[in-house]
Structure 1
């Protein structure tokens, strides 16, 4: 089925042209209408048409400007200019915007039939030769994975809309589109599982789906559900989990916070979080915490009014001898020796 948009500010012409198109034998289509260029662009954003029939002279935004906008944003949409005899030369300016078909008012049945046959032939030729860029789809999966993992809601919606437009541009059959969307979702799930995000629905079920819109709606809901589940698990925290973990450790150096506690706070599996932390920082969780404790201990030792025993508690060591041992291991000096090296008695 072809999608057609008729743009004209005269109701009788819109209705007449719509009737001629719909009644064309053997031409399966759905028709929408708009009163001017601005309204047409709104309709196009709602549902991308295959063909646009537009008048030239209209209020708010004329047909020439509409053609220019379509050439920039939707170059694959085929446009037919419907003009009065006096506007015909003016309409030729649309050639630079890719318009190749014209109808002169008043429009007749035979003319509409011939134009529709040409448009359909051109569209089918493009459909038979179109292919989807693997690199383009890989990029989409990678960006979508990052958007979900980082809880970037706006980016997620942008990518869903972009995918919908790109696939619509390719004009796949519904069955091929269903297969492609299932494959894309499977790749996304595979990448997320590697990050320890396991969606409740690991497969996108599209059996029995007969329209493009339903397919995309299923995909969108599946991806949004993964996003919602992850957000709930993380208690709404969208920060990079490693950076969030480091900040949490730094804020709780006086406490003996465990890796399991931090992983739970982030909504991550402890084993996966441990690997992720090591990959991102080149340190284990314990190594990072110990280093930050020693760095804080050094800063406090540089302040003469702090007692060494108090500093020990401040950086998470209730056992003072253990603190002394750890500090010397990291600095080569005991706490008192470190102070002496700074000239502090």
Structure 2
């Protein structure tokens, strides 16, 4: 017999519906009732009804939020919504979420009977078995899909495994993928409301809401990474149009969630990447951007552009001290780091009289060095049993410059030691290692970021150090090596120019031709033909 759960904050209305159904000539059985969405979820977990009849406006968790969660966790359960005349826009939202029908309050007995009679026909024994099997298959599919998406974020799945993605329904038909992270702004939810609910319900609600919003304008896959983090991988054909589209989308989502559910969320956005292996980098960037919520507040979209803007603001007023401190940390000069931290914190406390601004500036500085630690893969060694979020929150607990100086000296001193210990592994200097690597592997894809990870330096510091030691930028050096090899192949082999382009590390022949001509004033064909002509002339003269 099909079972039913009634959800309404008015007890008299719940009892009235229960009496109507008991008197109905049908098989429906009311197995439970609930006064709001939170209580309904508890009853659903315990008794797994076939149908839920729910009001829309209720305290704690309303009918719209309840339907989002049911759709994610219990897709086999059907819903019917009840609403007053003035709530029809919410009823329409419910129908969009998959509600079977809606009842306009107050409704007649015959109206309820007619609706339940229609639904009863859908609950034959054969359909129940088929539906149960489909639900089990979907649950397995969802678990595998979750693991695959998590694998993309940690970099363990790459482009050679497209069939793995296809098997779980994950497709990226467009060239660019960008990672978007959504997190609940905890301060927007009262303690009473937050602790009365399972915190994971907020993530489930956000996941469903974001997925449906993305489906209306973009292509993307949304999933719950953990209890307080929802991740979306958004796929787009044009990298330049991606940010404005996501900005409009997140503005709309934040506005609607704030209006419907009375809480706020903050988004972190990573830059677009072109291959599966780089998704983990976009995810890392989104997470770093999201950390700036502690500095400038939530209920907004934070991106690498946001972070860059804040860094620019920082360097405008303290660039000399900042660059010096950054260099001392990377060079392992512990005494100089402690001295410069003292000068920096003292300068901040002198310049700004507002404690909030002082804490913000200190957090910006620590976030910069956290990014450095991420790039050098020493975060775990540096922070050990804590994480950067707790470090930043800890900073806000200090109310004297002395405490701030001592805490920052300890943090950056520990980081300096970690970096120094990692660099001691090298016998040769970092620049010698980079030069040797390029000379041996110039035909492979090589980037400054890749070299920085290999020699445990930040990309910006390696770039300036390389130029000071070699007299040219890293990119110019790499390009020069590739063109030198290309010249040799043009002169002493009969390989086609396309083959030479591929063999010297260029992404395509058009780019190879353009770079070659800019450095030699001749195209590869002209260079080869000119050599043959010179050789022929010399032979003729002799």
TM-score category of the 2 structures, normalised to the smaller one = 0.3 to 0.5
TM-score (norm 1): 0.37
